[in-house]
């Protein structure tokens, strides 16, 4: 449990399971109590955080809030207001999930989990986090669809805009605005002044907070403490329709198909049987086939997600049913989606019998693993067309993510049907031939870009392994970048996995907004002069929040460097030109952020994150040709 959980959760003043109707802006005290707050009844300072769960700066400032909780304890309370920004696509669903957790008295646990996993906020991730923090799953899933919660998040956002907290994070400390991921010292300056002023005024607790907030920010006081409704937000510009077409390959001989083989519109569905959102969408799929007879076909692709332990066995069961015919597959799929909580081996066998398959053949298929390649191929295609979670639907190649309302599917089908009819007249084709024509120039994601870059490697370049190794991994990185830090473990695993067949080269690419990244890079290269780059590399990534000059000196001493030489090297910025050279190489190779990874000179883009499985899948297929 993190420090902020221990301290902030010393007791929580939350509405718990009785979230006030979000559309009714109540008066004091209910106006304030509708927002999740920590229980610090004697607090003289209230920090109101306006945040977005997908905002990296909001994530970065959480450690500062932890420190405030540790150092001030019950003198400071924290209140959270949601402001999911429109360009963060998963921010609003995450905010809704947090409010759903609030209804079960688990807001702060969900709040922390969301900030700890900012790159994993797809619907399936939110469901997993709910389970991890002990929420009632059915109630949570129902609350995700409750329009009152969505309205409540919208109200939060209106309030944020009304008090000019348009960007995130933004903080109000007893009404005084502090914008951005500021260091602890900036918070401390305001907090200490408020505590001293409270003592001098002989006021404490809620009375002081309310008085100071009203004095410092009358609008914030009116909206939060008095419960006045903020003005309506101006109408947003309609988002342009995404007309991207993906090259989603279909083979009716090996793919389950529902609907006409002469259809003008093909809906390819990537789904898995343990995903609650897939089950929610499933009835709509049948309705769509009935509504568009002869003009729509649905193709099913398996994409069992790793954290759903029974998803892959269920996919194998369904794929083995398909070996005995299309009807058997769809019958078994219906049963599987109706029984997501019971997918053990005995359950799967019982459902297969209900679907009417020949059990001897089905068992032989399941036990023999003969459909494993089919499931893996579907998953590989899902990665190539960026179908990262489930469900993901592609309508004539155009993506629709999540369990969207059936009306959204109908609108897209109608649009594609009109286009397909025009193409049919021109090309005189239907069904599979028409579909292939529509998606032939579609977008497909390749994990390794075609361009092969050449990077300078000599005695000055930090490298693990031989220049002659078959696998050459080059990383452009930044010691202050949290995403770069996540690479340390998978890189160690790669070295262990491939042994002498792999070499890993480190290139410096300190980002301008990471003020201590360049000094850290200089320190690492000074350590390289003494043959100890990698021990320094590990120290720096283990201590990303402590990269001041005295910290760098301490790490150098800990790994056994000769300190006089190290100090002269660091203070004289001996390797400044080398770092510039690395950055120039990176810019030439289209490095835009960190980490950026190249395998044998080809830029590596992973749709599933940088983990051992993602690396080995690409290296084995594209480099070692296994």
**Residue 27: predicted pLDDT:** 29
pTM recorded for the entire structure: 0.53
- Tokens 């084709």 belong to 429
Task: Identify the bridge partners of residue 50 per DSSP, sorted by sequence position.
Answer: 81, 170
Name the helix (H) or strand (E) containing 266: strand 265-271
- Tokens 């083979």 belong to 251
Q: 223-255, pLDDT tens digit by residue? A: 888 888 888 766 554 556 788 999 999 999 999
Alpha carbons 403 and 419: distance in angstroms, whole number: 25
- Residues with Cβ within 8 Å of 377's Cβ and at least 6 positions away in sequence, in order, are none
**Residue 608: predicted pLDDT:** 64
- Judged against a pLDDT cut of 50, whether residue 14 lies above it is answered with no
Q: How many CB atoms lie within 10 A of CB 543?
A: 16
pLDDT average, residue stretch 136-140: 93
Alpha carbons 245 and 254: distance in angstroms, whole number: 23
Split at pLDDT 50, 70, 90, the class of 192 is very high
- Residues with Cβ within 8 Å of 55's Cβ and at least 6 positions away in sequence, in order, are 85, 88, 91, 118, 168, 169
* 491-to-10, 351, 409, 540, 625 alpha-carbon distances in Å: 39, 43, 42, 16, 21
Alpha carbons 593 and 477: distance in angstroms, whole number: 8
Task: Identify the bridge partners of residue 448 per DSSP, sorted by sequence position.
Answer: 604
Structural Rg of the chain based on CA atoms: 28
| Tokens found for residue 86 | 């429109």
Q: Which of 37-51, 192-206, 574-588 has the highest mean pLDDT?
A: 574-588
How would you write 500-564 as a 3-class SS string?
A: HHEEEEEEECCCCCCCCHHHHHHHHHHHHHCCCHHHHHHHHHHCCCCCCHHHHHHHHHHCCCCHH
**Residue 131: predicted pLDDT:** 94
pLDDT average, residue stretch 541-554: 96
Q: 45-63, pLDDT tens digit by residue? A: 999 999 999 999 999 999 9
Alpha carbons 34 and 437: distance in angstroms, whole number: 54
Q: 375-429, pLDDT tens digit by residue? A: 999 998 998 898 878 999 999 999 999 888 899 999 999 999 999 998 887 778 8
* 470-to-91, 222, 455, 602, 620 alpha-carbon distances in Å: 42, 66, 15, 14, 11
- Domains of the chain as residue ranges with CATH: 3-225 (3.40.30.10), 257-439 (3.40.30.10), 463-623 (3.40.30.10)
Pairing of strands 170-173, 176-179: antiparallel
Distance of CA 53 to the CA centre of its chain: 10
- Judged against a pLDDT cut of 90, whether residue 506 lies above it is answered with yes
* 293-to-11, 351, 439, 487 alpha-carbon distances in Å: 58, 28, 22, 50
Split at pLDDT 50, 70, 90, the class of 172 is very high
- Tokens 């404490």 belong to 204
**Residue 386: predicted pLDDT:** 87
- Judged against a pLDDT cut of 50, whether residue 355 lies above it is answered with yes
Q: 292-351, pLDDT tens digit by residue? A: 999 999 999 999 988 899 999 999 999 999 999 999 999 999 999 999 999 999 999 999
- Residues with Cβ within 8 Å of 52's Cβ and at least 6 positions away in sequence, in order, are 58, 82, 83, 84, 85, 88, 91, 95, 168, 169
Alpha carbons 395 and 414: distance in angstroms, whole number: 10
* Residue 505, phi then psi, degrees to nearest 5: -115, 135
């Amino acid at each position: 449990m993190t420090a902020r959980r221990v301290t902030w959760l010393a007791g929580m003043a939350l509405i718990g399971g009785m979230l006030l109707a979000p559309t009714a802006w109540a008066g004091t005290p209910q106006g304030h109590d509708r927002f999740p707050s920590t229980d610090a009844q004697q607090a003289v300072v209230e920090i109101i955080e306006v945040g977005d769960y997908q905002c990296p700066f909001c994530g970065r400032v959480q450690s500062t809030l932890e420190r405030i909780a540790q150092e001030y304890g019950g003198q400071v309370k924290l209140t959270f207001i949601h402001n999911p920004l429109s360009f963060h696509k998963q921010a609003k669903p995450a905010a809704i999930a947090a409010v759903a957790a609030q209804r079960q008295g688990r807001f702060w646990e969900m709040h922390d989990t969301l900030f700890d996993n900012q790159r994993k906020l797809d619907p399936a991730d939110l469901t997993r986090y709910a389970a991890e923090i002990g929420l009632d799953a059915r109630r949570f899933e129902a609350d995700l669809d409750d329009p009152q919660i969505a309205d409540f998040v919208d109200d939060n956002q209106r309030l944020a805009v009304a008090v000019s907290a348009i960007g995130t994070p933004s903080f109000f400390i007893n009404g005084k605005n502090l914008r951005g991921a500021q260091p602890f010292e900036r918070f401390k300056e305001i907090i200490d002044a408020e505590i001293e002023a409270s003592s001098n005024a002989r006021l404490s607790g809620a009375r002081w907070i309310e008085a100071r907030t009203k004095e410092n920010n009358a609008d914030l006081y009116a909206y939060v403490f008095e419960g006045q409704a903020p003005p309506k937000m101006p109408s947003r510009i309609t988002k342009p329709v995404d007309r991207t077409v993906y090259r989603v390959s279909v083979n009716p001989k090996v793919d389950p198909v529902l609907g006409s083989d002469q259809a003008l519109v093909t809906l390819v569905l990537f789904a898995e049987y343990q995903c609650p959102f897939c089950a929610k969408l499933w009835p709509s799929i049948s309705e769509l086939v009935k509504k568009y007879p002869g003009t729509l076909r649905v193709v099913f692709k398996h994409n069992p997600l790793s954290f759903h332990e029974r998803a892959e066995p269920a996919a194998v069961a369904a794929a083995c049913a398909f070996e005995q015919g299309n009807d058997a597959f769809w019958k078994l799929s219906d049963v599987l989606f109706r029984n997501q909580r019971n997918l053990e081996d005995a359950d799967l066998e019982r459902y297969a019998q209900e679907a009417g398959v020949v059990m001897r053949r089905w068992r032989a298929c399941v036990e023999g693993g003969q459909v494993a390649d089919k499931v893996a191929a579907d998953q590989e295609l899902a990665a190539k067309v960026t179908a990262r979670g489930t469900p993901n639907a592609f309508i004539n190649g155009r993506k629709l993510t999540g369990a969207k309302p059936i009306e959204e599917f109908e609108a897209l089908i109608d649009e594609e049907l009109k286009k397909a009819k025009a193409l049919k007249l021109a090309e005189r084709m239907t069904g599979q031939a028409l579909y292939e024509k529509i998606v032939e120039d579609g977008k497909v994601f390749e994990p390794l870009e075609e361009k092969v870059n050449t990077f300078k490697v000599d005695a000055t370049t930090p490298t693990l392994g031989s220049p002659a190794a078959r696998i050459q991994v080059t990383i452009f990185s930044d010691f202050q970048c949290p995403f770069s830090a996540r690479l340390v473990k998978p890189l160690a695993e790669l070295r262990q996995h491939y042994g002498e067949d792999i070499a890993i080269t480190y290139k410096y690419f300190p980002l301008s907004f990471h003020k201590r990244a360049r000094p850290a890079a200089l320190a690492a290269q000074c350590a390289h002069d003494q043959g100890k780059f990698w021990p320094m590399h590990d120290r720096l990534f283990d201590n990303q929040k402590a990269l001041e000059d005295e910290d760098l000196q301490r790490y150098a001493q800990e790994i056994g460097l000769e300190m006089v030489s190290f100090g002269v090297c660091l203070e004289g910025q001996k390797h400044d030109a080398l770092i510039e050279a690395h950055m120039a190489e990176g810019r030439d190779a289209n490095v835009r952020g960190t980490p950026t990874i190249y395998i044998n000179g080809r830029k590596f883009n992973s749709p599933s994150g940088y983990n051992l499985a993602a690396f080995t899948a690409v290296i084995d297929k594209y480099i070692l040709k296994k």
